Amino acid sequence: MNILITAISQGLLWSIMAMGVYLTYRILHIADLTAEGSFPLGGAIASSLIVSGFSALAATFIAGFTGMLAGLITGLLYTKLKIPALISGILTMTGLYSINLRIMGRANISLIGQDTIFSNFFIQDLANNWTALIVGGIFITSIIFVLFLFFRTQIGYVLRSTGDNEQMTRSQGVDTDAMKILGLVISNALIALSGALIAQSNGFADISMGIGTIVIGLAAVTIGEVFFGNLTLAKRLMCVVLGSVVYRMIIALAINLNMNPNDLRLISAIILAIVLSSPTIKEKLQARNFGKVAGQKNETSIEHKQFT
C-alpha cells in the first residue's frame, strides 16, 4: 500500500513537469530541451532560498518565476535569433548548468531539518508519502483549473492555433513569435515549479536531478494519450497526470522487483520507445487483420461464383 501511495504522490509531483512538456511538445509542436536545465533550476532556487530562511511557499513560487526566465531565453533564441528550437533548448540547458552551480554554490544542497512545503500547515503530522499526495493534488488541481481557464481565453485560443497552423494564424495578424515565447515561458515555469517540489519532497537539490527529465515528461504525455485516447483539452490535461502516475507505478514496480537502480534510465527509455511505437504497431495489426478479413471475403465470393 505504501508503494502505491508513494507512486501516486510522486506521479502527481512529476505530472506538473509533464504538463509543461505537454504545452511545448503537443500544443506548440516544439521539441524543447530547456526542461533538463529549468527543472534543476527550480530545485536549486527553492532549496537555496529555504536554507537562507525564506518561507517554503515563497521559495517555491520564486522558483517557478525563474523557470519563466529560462523559457524566455529559449524563446528569444528561437524566434528572434532564428536558432532551431532543439538547439535553442540545448544552449539554454547548457548555460543553466553553470548557473545552477552558482546558485547552489556546490553540487547539492540538503534540506534535512529545514521547513519545506511538505512540513507546513495541517499536513505536518502526516507520513511523508501522504503529505506529498496532498500537496501534489492541490498543486495539480489548481494548475489544471488555471490552464483550462487560460485556454478558453482569446490568447489561449491563439496560442493553440499557433501550434496547429502557424501560417494561418500569422495571416490573421497575430504575432506568432510572441505566442511561442509565451508557451515556452509557461512551460518552463511549470517545469521549474515541479523541480522545486521534487527537491523538497526528496529532501535535497542536486545539479544532476534534471538528467532524463524530458524522457520522463514525454513518457507521461504519451502514456496518457495511448491509454486514454484523444479527448477534449481538459481531459487531455488530466490524462497527462494519469500518464505520469502510471509511469511512476511502472518505475516503482521495477524497483520492487530488485532491479539495479542504475538501470532506471534505461528502463525509462525502453518504456518510452514502447509507448511511442505502440500506435504504429496497433495500425499495422489492424491493417493485417483487415487484409485477412478482406481476403476471406474474396475467397468466399469466388467459391460462391464457382458454385453458381
Average pLDDT of the segment spanning 275-302: 69
pLDDT tier at 4, thresholds 50, 70, 90: confident
- Tens-digit pLDDT profile for residues 35-82: 999 999 999 999 999 999 999 999 999 999 999 999 999 999 999 999
18 contacts: CB under 8 Å, gap ≥ 6: 216, 217, 220, 221, 240, 241, 243, 244
* pTM given for the model: 0.87
Per-residue pLDDT band for 185 (boundaries 50, 70, 90) equals: very high
Element (H, E) at 110: strand 108-110
pLDDT of residue 286: 77
In whole angstroms, give the CA distance from residue 241 to residue 229: 14
Question: Quick one: pLDDT band at residue 93, thresholds 50, 70, 90?
Answer: very high
Cα–Cα distance, 36 to 17 (Å, whole number): 11
Q: Between these two residues, 299 and 119, which has the higher pLDDT value? A: 119
Question: Would you place residue 292 in the very low, low, confident or very high pLDDT band (cuts 50, 70, 90)?
Answer: low
**pLDDT digits 0-9 by tens, 243-269:** 888 888 888 887 777 777 777 778 777
